[in-house]
Amino acid sequence: MTATQLGWIAGMVEGEGCITKNAKITVCSSDLDVLDKIASLWRTTVQPVKNYSQLSKKPMYRVAVGGKHGAGWLMTIWSLLGERRRTKAKEIIKHWLLLLPAPQDRTQCPSGHLYTLASTVRTRFGRGCRTCNNEARRLKRRAV
């Protein structure tokens, strides 16, 4: 993969793409040859867009990559994205990383506090963060 190809993909994501939860990157276009090139680099396939508004008579297509491959691509092109997309990509990657391990394998709570013997409490839902629980109780007491 060349720097030119990475820049080109970043430009396509910036201009025609969408980044959603679960680190899914989708690029839509009516230019099938452009999407074929992206699909070959992402090792995926081009799909026709169904229920597309017929304002234009051109058929629309999309290519998408998600999960660990989408997160990998986001991390690879992150520095080449604009500020707004970079912020969104950072948020999505952080969310994806928290969801990645199974609950029993997570080492920190969603707020970033480490799970240790001293900071972990058992709840009816499983494991919880003592720091977050104490903060929630403090806020609840203040509200009353």
DSSP assigned state of 78: G
CA 58 – CA 75 distance, rounded (Å) = 33
Its pTM stands at: 0.64
Beta bridge partners of 59: none
CA 63 – CA 143 distance, rounded (Å) = 48
* Order of strands, sheet of 17-20, starting from the edge strand that comes earlier in the sequence: 17-20, 24-29, 61-65, 46-48
Q: Tell me: the pLDDT tens digits for 44-88? A: 999 998 766 666 678 889 999 988 888 899 999 999 999 999 999
CA 50 – CA 61 distance, rounded (Å) = 9
Distances, alpha carbon 84 to alpha carbons 21, 42, 73, 80, 121, in Å: 16, 23, 17, 12, 37
Contact between 97 and 48 (Cβ < 8 Å): no
Q: Is the pLDDT of residue 112 over 90?
A: no
pLDDT at 101: 66
Rg (CA), the chain: 21
Q: List domains and CATH numbers for the chain.
A: 1-100 (3.10.28.10), 102-144 (no CATH)
pLDDT at 25: 93
Contact between 63 and 26 (Cβ < 8 Å): yes
CA 143 – CA 125 distance, rounded (Å) = 25
Q: Is the pLDDT of residue 100 over 70?
A: no
Q: Tell me: the pLDDT tens digits for 8-45? A: 999 999 999 999 887 899 999 989 999 999 999 999 99
